[in-house]
Amino acid sequence: MNTRAKLIASLVCFFSLPAAYAADFDDYARVMSVTPQVEQVNYPQQECHTEYVPVQRQQRGVGGSILGGLAGGIIGNQVGGGSGRSVATAAGAIAGAIVGDRMENSETPATESQPVNRCRTVDNWQSRTNGYAVTYEYHGHSYTSVMPYDPGERMRVRVSVMPAR
């Protein structure tokens, strides 16, 4: 046998050697049970609604108080005499200011309704399947594994054979 033929025969044997010792192969196992793995997940949500709340009016008119105070002071000055004249003037000014304020600010309410948007966060718990605990039997032995899907009645398994130590 020439050198070239020996070299080719050696290469064929060398490259077929791993195939002869390959110990991994695929086979099928019988599925005995499948249990969904469920977890609770919170997806918080906002709930909002509009309320109408009373608010005090910000600006009150002062013109009525001023005019009423002046008018009351003038009238009180006309009524009193002597030392009572200054007391009547002061009392007339105070009474006129109160009457003038009530006349000017009585047409519009002291409070108004204003819309206010109120929101709150509400828990929204939902169940979510995150995998399946699969118990299967292969050559008389039971195994359990978590898988991302339900494999059905039988499943493909990778078998690996190694020498014992």
- pLDDT tens for the chain, 165 residues long, are 576 666 566 655 555 545 445 578 999 999 999 999 999 999 999 999 999 888 876 566 777 778 777 777 677 677 766 777 777 777 777 887 787 777 776 665 567 788 999 999 999 999 999 999 999 999 999 999 999 999 999 999 999 988 877
CB atoms within 10 A of CB 61: 14
Q: What are phi and psi of 2, to 5 degrees?
A: -80, 170
Lookup result for tokens 């200054």:
86
Model-level pTM?
Answer: 0.44
pLDDT of residue 7: 57
d(CA 97, CA 139): 105
User: Which CA distances in Å does 113 have to 3, 52, 53, 61, 117?
Assistant: 107, 6, 5, 20, 13
d(CA 22, CA 92): 117
pLDDT of residue 8: 67
pLDDT of residue 11: 57
d(CA 133, CA 38): 10
Quick one: which of 133, 158, 136, 127 has its CA closest to 147?
133
Cross-strand pairs, 125 = 42
pLDDT of residue 4: 67
